Structure 1
Amino acid sequence: MTRGVLLVAVCKDGNEMIYPLAFGFAHSECIKSWTWFLKQLRNVIQYPERVMFVSDRHEGIFAGMEAIFHDAAHGVCAYHLS
């Protein structure tokens, strides 16, 4: 039984340090949840055209990216690619 999932966005600063930017709780990792999360994230990012996303290729992330961050670059995590 799934009790929910944690959706997380992290950033890398100029010193190559990773820090949390945003997180949200959802019932499951699905298109609806990722679209909601990315919509909230879009509200706080000032320059989305200068943002790049790296993900694990989940279909919900890709669908949310097309709907919410269609102008941002999107790459695939090398770890998840292998």
Structure 2
Amino acid sequence: MDKIKFTFTDSGDVVDFFVLEQTRINGIDYILVTDQEDGDAEAFILKDLSGMEDQEAIYEIVEDEKELEAVAAIFNEILEDISFESI
């Protein structure tokens, strides 16, 4: 499992996430990340907003309910041993 660092632009906080899976839907890259490597953990679906000119990837947490449900369904199919619960 890959571990990546994210820096939040608004606060400057740096957080480590573990990448569980990635997919591309309609030309947009999405990654499923969690804050813990093992056990029950919070998971987030992040959307890549990077442009061709960006040197580093720019991600945003998917918050739109329809988009979130659609992408979560894809990740649910890919990762049969993981279940999602909305909070």
Which TM-score bucket, shorter chain as reference?
A: under 0.3
Asked which structure has the greater RCO (Cα within 8 Å, sep 6+), the reply is: 1
Q: Which has the higher strand share?
A: 2
Q: Which has the higher helix share?
A: 1
TM (norm. structure 1) is: 0.26
